[in-house]
Homo-oligomer: A and B are copies of this chain.
Amino acid sequence: MVLSAKIPVGDLDVYDRQNFGNQSGFGMAPALLIVDFVNGFANPDEFGGGNIGRAIEATKGLLTECRNAGIPVAFTRVVYADDGADNGVFCMKAPGLKDLTEDALGSQIVNDLAPINGEYIARKTQPSAFFGTSLQSWLTAKHVDTVLVTGCTTSGCVRASVIDSMSYNFKTIVVTDCVGDRAIGPHEANLFDMEQKYADLMTSSEVMRRIAAI
């Protein structure tokens, strides 16, 4: 995978020697998970920047393909109570999050990826798409075995969601051109970690070829 050039050679050696970085594979029943592609994370003046805009753009095509193939689609939004009743430690670390309330522009899914009927939208207050949501129950109801993860940020809510997805024993695919981050260093470092330990990395083109072959 092209990004590994950024990781010191010695680091890669030890992962190879200890037999990390194997493929967990692509199952027969994927779902598409779109993490936090909301206006606030599309906007460099709020929580956006870096390659997030490009990732949203790339996700448009993948979303269309998934819908055409009848693949279940789930979204997450960060949503806090208007009165701040559910603000917690995450809001201490990043106080701007408090503004992402139900009706705030910043917490609406970007127009280009607007959900359609029957797609699941998880409101969350923590990094992982699974924490304090019904995502796991929804995936079980859909008989999913593979989660295709897109969204932002790679080093934040994508990474947290990938850990949980893998922990629940879903084969987990990070779609490399469909995840983005406000800064490229953490984006790449987290792709490295996830590939070594939790998920397979695939481009959206590769994913679309796999979907076509199911």
Contact = CB atoms under 8 A, between A and B. Distances in A.
Interface in A137-182: 137-141, 143, 145, 155-156, 159-160, 163-164, 166-172, 182
Given A89-B141, A117-B83, A47 B18 contact: yes
Contact of A196 (B84, B93, B136, B167): B93
Contacts of A88: 134, 137-138, 141, 169
A40 to B, nearest CB: 10
Interface stretch (A60-68, A104-112, A124-132, A202-210): A124-132
A50 to B, nearest CB: 7
B11 A169 contact: no
B23 A92 contact: yes
A193 B153 CA distance: 11
Interface residues of A, number: 81
29 contacts: A8-B183, A10-B183, A11-B184, A14-B49, A15-B182, A19-B94, A20-B94, A23-B92, A83-B118, A84-B118, A85-B121, A85-B138, A88-B137, A123-B123, A125-B137, A126-B163, A127-B198, A128-B167, A132-B132, A132-B137, A132-B167, A136-B136, A137-B167, A138-B169, A140-B140, A140-B169, A140-B170, A159-B193, A190-B193
